[in-house]
Amino acid sequence: MFLISAVNLEQLSLECSFLTSCGNFLLPRSNLQSLKELPLVVTDAAPGFDLDRFARLLEKAPRLERLEAYMCRGVGPGLALGSLNWLKFTMSALCSGEVRNLALSCKKLESFSFQYFEDCEGADILKRGHDLTPREITEELEPCRQTSQHLEVSDWDGRTILQRNDRITNLQQFPALRTLVLDEICLVSGEQKERPTTGDLLIRLLPASIESVVLKEVHLSLYDDMMELAWKAQNGLFPHLKYFKAIFKGMIPSRMHKPLEEAFRKAGISFAS
């Protein structure tokens, strides 16, 4: 009954379970017209949830801008997300086609974050079949490529085996992309077993609009690619890039760190590790 009169409510946080059907308790006259932010958190004992179970609630919130889903394991087509511009999945596992379902529903999406489920006891219960690969995520986001400004695909390291064709190789189809957060494994094998080229991986990956890059779980095998990026930036490529952070998997020798930092500095880019 509380939600009947919550016309000024801007943020609502819900705790859900696998069987939750939030929205079924809403009366026809319920009004969430001011709701802008909706975090959905699963209970500790629940094996994740399907976003479809919130379909009726989403229909009551036509101005919803920010949605965060924790331990989501499924998304169907046709959800009412037309005003959404910020979407984050944490400790989640989706299947092929489900990010495209979202992209087709979110005409104004600017920020998309997908953090894969952690490698912990009970996490396998989120799996329902063919998990999305990093490359499929970016391909399925293409309906939002003109509006997308932030992309994160992370927490993949050590979770699943990725083949060469599973990795992200090109984001230049996102002309408005400004900030990027990726695990290195989403780009290339840390053991350098399947490197498609030497040195130009990041050059081919990034769009000209990019302003900030954070790479996580980075191996030294990516060193030449980062150095090449800094050199190209010194010569005018990626004129908007102002911040680059590499979170290395282990210590990087100072004899390698200092030249890398200096190369980015000469390009006017702040470097962190």
- Tens of pLDDT, residues 161-172: 678 888 999 999
State the Rg of the chain over Cα: 20
Q: What residues does each domain of the chain span?
A: 2-148
Q: Look at residue 26 in the predicted model and tell me its pLDDT.
A: 64
Opening angle at CA 202, ends 201 and 208, nearest 5:
130
Mean pLDDT of 45-73: 87
- Whether the CB-CB separation of 241 and 247 falls below 8 Å is answered with no
d(C-alpha 240, C-alpha 178), whole Å: 9
**3-class DSSP assignment, residue 192:** coil
Q: Classify each residue of 120-159 as buried b or exposed e, where b means 16 or more C-beta atoms within 10 Å of its C-beta.
A: eeebeebeeeebbbbbbbbbbbebbbeebbbbbbbbbbeb
Q: Classify each residue of 39-68 as buried b or exposed e, where b means 16 or more C-beta atoms within 10 Å of its C-beta.
A: bbbbeeebebbbbebbbebbebbeebbbbb
Highest-confidence range of 48-52, 122-126, 223-227, by mean pLDDT? Answer: 223-227
At 170-220, the pLDDT tens digits run 999 999 999 999 999 898 754 444 454 568 999 999 999 999 999 998 988
d(C-alpha 227, C-alpha 263), whole Å: 7
179-183 and 150-154 strand pairing: parallel
First vs last C-alpha separation in the chain? 51
Backbone dihedral angles phi then psi of residue 66, each to the nearest 5 degrees: -130, 130
Q: Where are the beta strands (DSSP E) in 185-241?
A: 212-218
Q: Look at residue 159 in the predicted model and tell me its pLDDT.
A: 58
What's the one-letter identity of residue 52?
D
Q: Look at residue 156 in the predicted model and tell me its pLDDT.
A: 76
d(C-alpha 117, C-alpha 104), whole Å: 24
pTM: 0.90
Task: Report residue 234's pLDDT band, with 50, 70 and 90 as the boundaries.
Answer: very high
Fold of 2-148: 3.80.10
Helices 223-234 & 254-266 angle (0-180, nearest 10): 20
